[in-house]
Amino acid sequence: MASQTPVRQTRPSRTSGARGPSPSLTARHGVAFALNPCASLLRLYAEAGPVAAVGTRRRPFVHLFGPDANAFVFANSGLFRWREAFDLLVPVNGETALIVSDGADHRRRRRLVQPAFHHRRVAGYVARMADNTDAALRAWRPGRTLDAYAELRSVIRRSTVEVLFGDRLAADAEVIGRRLQVALAAVDQNFVLQMALRSLPNPYMRRVAAARAQVVRRVDEEIDRRLAGGTGEDERDGQGDVLGMLLAARDEDGAGLTRQELQDQVISLISAGYDTTSAAMAWAVYALLAHPDAAERARREVAEVVGDRPVRAADLPALTYLDGVVNETLRLFPPAVLSARVPVEDFTYAGHRVPAGAMVLYSPFVTHRMPEVWPQAGRFRPERWDPASRLHRPATASTYLPFGGGPHRCIGSTLATVEIKTMLACLLRGPRLRLVSPAAVPTSVTAMRPRGGLPVEVL
């Protein structure tokens, strides 16, 4: 949906009188951010308003908060670079992944990858997602206490690899996941520690590189097998998978993706596909278990629509309240708490000059919890997504942005929401659960998840 929020300034302008980062604000925010990033960002907005500069004059971090700021960033994509802003993700995703690509390279790669995530193709993945979820839930016996986050993460990882890249790679999904987790753990570190680790050769980063190299070798084996077969596709019910589409994709000049581009797209799609989706899935389960009335309403809806048979793609449009559950989960717990850009030239926003080379940050998390944007912003209210509700507010690209926005909006957003909705429908027909602890503290800003997992008791 196009943003209906006015953009304060659609072109950068140069002004004098720049205000550098506040040392006292920097000190307070730095400590608080390390302890609890989400809470510290809300406090930073409450204290400093829509523009808050922290860090040093040499390396300022400029937070732009709220819908106007989001609209400004999305409307001025040519003002910013992505590569520098997301450099810390390279150890996982690789040098040519979409998330670290800029300009013409990004447009070309996205154009070649985009057809794999068309909504009709995603609908074809639902049966496998449901089968994998139901199979896992059958092992959730009454009396067990388990980590729902870890259990569902494993299901999502297998489903992601299976529907995107075929059964052969899916057979190694657990091994691939363990190796990628070494790299994912590296980018989940404190920002300052990450910068230090990336600055000099060290055993830790060598382990990260070695783990990713093992995944690259496995991906290469599958690419070579497909190419040797001639079609490049893993035929499944007459339909090729995403790897087959990537191998066959050609731009207007007839050029396809290079071997490195193929490697990086496959690995980044696997890691993003299960890391962020499993984080959001954990919060959806937590929210339903913490709000029994919402869970019961969703359970009744699933029973009426699906009944006793397996969940199918055709069921999803009728699960309207469950849509609200998914949307409300992503509002309160967007996987990416922050997103970043690096401006290529000085610009002014809301009277503040931001220098070229600064780290500009906007926050879906803060926007989604602004009471001036969302009534009862801190409460889980799935009914707000029903246009008939008094809490309803039309979501725009600048007020609701769990998958970012602009030309770099997450390419897998439809896949993620369909998978979460499918898995919740399966879960709501499965065993009853109880939270072991009523409180869950968020951790991580790249894939916000419950700290310590999500322990539940199976009833």
Q: What is the pLDDT of residues 136-150, one digit of tens each?
A: 999 999 999 999 999
Which residues partner with 125 through β-bridges?
none
The values of phi and psi at residue 453, to 5°, are: 85, -160
- 49-58, 147-156, 442-451: range with highest mean pLDDT: 147-156
**How do residues 254-283 score in pLDDT, each as one tens digit?**
888 999 999 999 999 999 888 999 999 999
The values of phi and psi at residue 63, to 5°, are: -90, 125
Q: Provide the pLDDT for residue 434.
A: 98
Q: Provide the pLDDT for residue 241.
A: 83
To the question of pTM greater than 0.85 for the whole model, the response is: yes
In angstroms, the CA 430 to CA 311 distance is: 12
Q: Provide the pLDDT for residue 19.
A: 61
The mean pLDDT of the chain is 90
Write the burial class of residue 389 (CB in 10 Å: 0-12 exposed, 13-18 middle, 19+ buried). middle
pLDDT band at 198 (very low <50, low <70, confident <90, very high): confident
The structural domains of the chain, ordered by start, are 88-336+373-458 (1.10.630.10)
Strand ranges (E), 125-222: 145-147
Assess whether pLDDT exceeds 80 at residue 172. Answer: yes
Q: Are strands 60-64 and 359-362 parallel, antiparallel or unpaired?
A: parallel
Angle between helix 320-332 and helix 292-305 axes, rounded to 10 deg: 140
Assess whether pLDDT exceeds 80 at residue 3. Answer: no
Contacts of 130 by beta carbon, 8 Å cutoff, 6+ apart: 310, 311, 312, 422, 423, 425, 426
Which residues partner with 55 through β-bridges?
60
Six-digit token string for 311? 């969940």
